[in-house]
A and B are shown apart, each in its own frame.
Chain A
Amino acid sequence: MSESGPSSHSHLAPGTPLCAGCGGLQALQQLYRVLGDKTVVVNAAGCMTLLSIYPFTPFAGSWLYTAMACAAAGAQGVRDALDIQLAKGRISSAEDLATVVLTGDGSAYGMGLSATSAALDRGLDFLYLCYDNEGYGNTGHQYSSATPRAAHTATSRVSGYAGSKKDLFAIWAAHRPSYVATAIAAEPQDLARKVKKAAALRGPRLLLVLAPCPTGWGFDPALTVKVGQLAVETGIWPLKEYVDGRAVHTKIPRQRTPLAEYLRLQGRFAHLFSPQPDEQRLAELQQAVEDYWQQVTE
């Protein structure tokens, strides 16, 4: 290549077609700096699939696109094949790679959950990165089982999503894996600490990263970090980790910002504020946050 761009090889190269201000890409940038190119990133269908569009790839290491349901199974095949070759002396340990799964929430919470659960059962040595943009982003942001209550999506246009966001952290933790953490790119130190910790462990590990999505959530891309910070400050996105059989909050927002400040910034919640504020639903949503933290601090 005549020019290699500004990145050294342990960075994700620029030039990808993801939206300006993408909170998922922002997280992946930070993560890849720690993980580096000694990785195989095994991907399921979603926005991030577009990272590698022939002949362009931002990766200096390896990448394998599988399908929507089965990235964790792909990781199993890659991990096993590397282990077999190491055991049979066909490759050196310098040629080994860490196995990383990269999927959106639609895959992680839904279609790919069965394959993931099974990989956890088998104790697969892999790191699962889920960028959670709370919907099927790549197909135009329909609701997924990670969509928060009341959010407008392309399939909940009238009164917002009627379900509630599924607790993937708890589902993973119930499998007793090596590590589970929630994170967000708007809190880079917390994220960096968690990814370093995860990278140093073996066995199944999950980094569940909330990924503010200007396109799907309806906010100006300049606000990606602001929205992310508010997700933490309002307490709707708790930062926590599960390690050694215990879940610990890594940041407890004691003086929580009212949830409405987070919701107000996003087009997907605009119907809660106009033409008149929907006080009742806003109160319900706020209450759900209160209930969560009540149970944490008790």
Chain B
Amino acid sequence: MYRIRLHGRGGQGIKTASRILGTALFRSGFEVQDAPRYGAERRGAPIFAYVRADDKVICERGLIHQPNLVVVADETLFDLPAANVLEGLDGRAVLLINSERSAQDWCRQLQLPGQVTVLDGAAVVREAGRVPAGALCVGAAARLLGVVSRRALLQAVAEELAGHDAAAIQTSQQAVSQAYELFAGEAGLVQRLQSGAKKSVTTPPKWVELDCEALPRAAPTITMAATSALVKTGLWRTRRPRIDRALCSRCGLCRTLCPEGGIDLDGEGYPVIDYRYCKGCLLCAAQCPRRAIAVADERTVSPPQPKEGEP
């Protein structure tokens, strides 16, 4: 069986990507299961989807804990422990990262037992046009599996994007196909595991005797104020607004408009962005009357984002 997990952020087409891969595998004769997993989070927040494929009926369901391929459409997810990108990666699994950095770089940084390979999605997009990261990754992933033909893949793209205009479908097909080509040398890198090859001896669960507990703890109630501040939504951000104090007139508009309440004023009345929370919507930059807020790619700014996640 193939057990594939795709990680990305809301808005990167991860659900569509999982469906393209699912359909491509289905068209290639496999029994398939694909599903997205939604949380409460919205655009920009980490999400994932998964695909299973086998040559017989699939009985497993739900999350994949022992993948043989993990696809990461957004490299900033590694900084977010809650995204659990690396869960269950063992020596046999392949990790595909959408990144401009090299595979060696990532190997060194992540210190993983398995194989790491990299798709430079940005380069593909520069050539083929704007296509969601998820779709690009699927082009590469299909080739890594080695069991999906280009024809099946492109048909799957057309099927899953049905309803979009023809030009958009064509652009996607081009980009997906290009990603597929880039991995010709690594075709079949992902090992297919026997469906039965999962551990047959399991450790028994440690069930507990639950007590009837006292209120308010036993009710879905919170008696502390403002606990959401423990959630660092700054980790959603892919682009970063930066205030240039030299240009800023201290009008305070950005502070008023920030939906997150993530801008405060310092002692001199200059706005300060709290990057722990800024989701990178960039409306502050768009609205600043003095154009004092510049936008940088999150990956190019240093020091890197805080390595804290949700508790």
The short answer to whether A and B are in direct contact, CB under 8 Å, is yes
The reply on B40 being an interface residue by CB < 8 A is yes
Bound CA–CA A224/B279 (angstroms): 14
Which residues from chain B contact A53 at a C-beta distance below 8 Å?
A: 40
Q: Is the pair B228, A15 in contact by a Cβ cutoff of 8 Å?
A: yes
Q: Is A29 a contact partner of B258 (Cβ separation < 8 A)?
A: yes
Which of B253, B274, B287 contacts A6, CB < 8 Å? B274
Residue interface bits A84-95, CB-to-B below 8 A is 1, else 0: 000000000000
Note all chain B residues with C-beta closer than 8 A to A274.
165
Q: Does B231 contact A (CB under 8 A)?
A: yes
Question: Is A258 located at the chain interface by the 8 A CB criterion?
Answer: no
Q: How distant is B270 from chain A, measured CB to nearest CB, in Å?
A: 14
Question: Chain A binding site: helix, strand, loop or mixed by DSSP?
Answer: loop
Residue of A nearest to B279 (CB): A20
Q: How far is the CA of A285 from the CA of B234 in the complex (A)?
A: 40
Query: Given A20-B280, A225-B286, A13 and B259 touching (CB < 8 A)?
Result: no
State the total of A-B contacts with C-beta under 8 angstroms: 158
**Bitwise interface map of A from 111 to 130 toward B, beta carbon under 8 Å scored 1, else 0:** 00000000000000000000
- B184 contacts across to A, CB distance below 8 A: none
Is A224 in contact with B277, judged by CB distance below 8 angstroms? no
Whether a CB of chain A sits under 8 angstroms from the CB of B246 is no
B10 — which chain A residues lie within 8 A by C-beta? Answer: 19
On whether A225 and B283 interact (CB within 8 A), knowing A20-B236, A56-B231, the answer reads yes
Determine the chain A residues whose CB is within 8 A of the CB of B256 once the complex forms.
30, 188
* B226 in contact with A225 (CB, 8 Å): no
Tally chain A residues at the interface, Cβ within 8 Å.
Answer: 52
Q: Nearest chain B CB to A184's CB is how many angstroms away?
A: 12
Chain A's closest residue to B232 (CB) is A15
A114 CB → nearest B CB, Å: 27
The reply to whether B225 and A37 form a contact with Cβ atoms under 8 Å apart is: yes
B71: CB under 8 A from chain A?
no
Tell me whether A39 is interfacial, beta carbon within 8 Å: no
Contact of A17 among B40, B226, B227, B280 (CB under 8 A): B40
B99 interface residue (CB < 8 Å to A) = no
Secondary structure of the B contact surface, majority rule = loop
Contacting pair A15 B230 (CB below 8 A): yes
* B40 with A222: CB separation less than 8 A: no
Q: Which of A13-31 contact B (CB under 8 A)?
A: 13-23, 25-26, 29-30
Cα A57 to Cα B274 with chains together (Å): 18
Q: Report whether B226 and A59 are in contact in the complex, using a CB–CB cutoff of 8 Å.
A: yes
B257 touches A225 (CB 8 A): yes
Interface bracket on B: 35 or more
Minimum distance in angstroms from B64 CB to a CB of chain A = 23
Which of B165, B227, B260 is A25 in contact with, Cβ under 8 Å?
Answer: B260
Stretch of B41-49, B115-123, B146-154 that contacts chain A: B41-49
Interface digits, A165-176 against B, CB 8 Å rule (1 contact, 0 not)?
000000000000
Q: Which of B45, B226, B257 contacts A185 (CB 8 A)?
A: B257
List CB contacts (< 8 Å) of B240-299 with chain A.
253, 256-262, 264, 274, 276-277, 279-283, 285-287
CA distance A155 to B264 in the complex (A): 40
Are A13 and B228 interface neighbours, CB within 8 A?
A: yes
Q: Identify the closest chain B residue to A47 (Cβ).
A: B42
* B301 located at the interface, meaning its Cβ lies under 8 Å from any Cβ of chain A in the complex: no
Name the distance in Å between B54's Cβ and chain A's nearest Cβ: 30
Is A268 on the interface with B (CB-CB < 8 A)?
Answer: no
Q: Does A11 contact B (CB under 8 A)?
A: yes
A60 touches B225 (CB 8 A): yes
Q: Is A3 an interface residue (CB 8 A)?
A: yes
The residue in chain A whose Cβ has the minimal distance to the Cβ of B263 is A6
B43: chain A residues at CB < 8 Å are 19-21, 214-215, 221
Do the beta carbons of A29 and B226 come within 8 Å of each other?
no
The answer to the question of A223 belonging to the interface, with a C-beta cut-off of 8 Å to chain B, is yes
CA distance A223 to B225 in the complex (A): 32
Q: Are the CB atoms of B229 and A4 closer together than 8 Å? A: yes
Q: Which residue of A lies closest to B262 (CB)?
A: A14
Residues of B within 8 A of A (CB): 10, 39-45, 163, 165, 220, 222, 224-233, 236-237, 253, 256-262, 264, 274, 276-277, 279-283, 285-287
Q: Which 4 A-B pairs have the closest CB atoms?
A: A5-B229, A19-B42, A21-B281, A13-B226
Please report A residues at the B interface, Cβ cutoff 8 Å: 1, 3-7, 9, 11-23, 25-26, 29-30, 37, 47, 50-61, 157, 185-186, 188, 214-215, 221-226, 274-275
Beyond A21-B283, A25-B259, list 8 extra A-B contacts (CB 8 Å). Answer: A1-B227, A9-B225, A9-B226, A21-B281, A29-B258, A52-B228, A185-B259, A215-B43
18 contacts between A and B (CB under 8 A): A5-B277, A7-B261, A12-B261, A13-B261, A14-B261, A19-B10, A20-B42, A21-B283, A25-B260, A52-B222, A54-B220, A60-B226, A222-B281, A222-B282, A223-B283, A223-B286, A226-B286, A226-B287
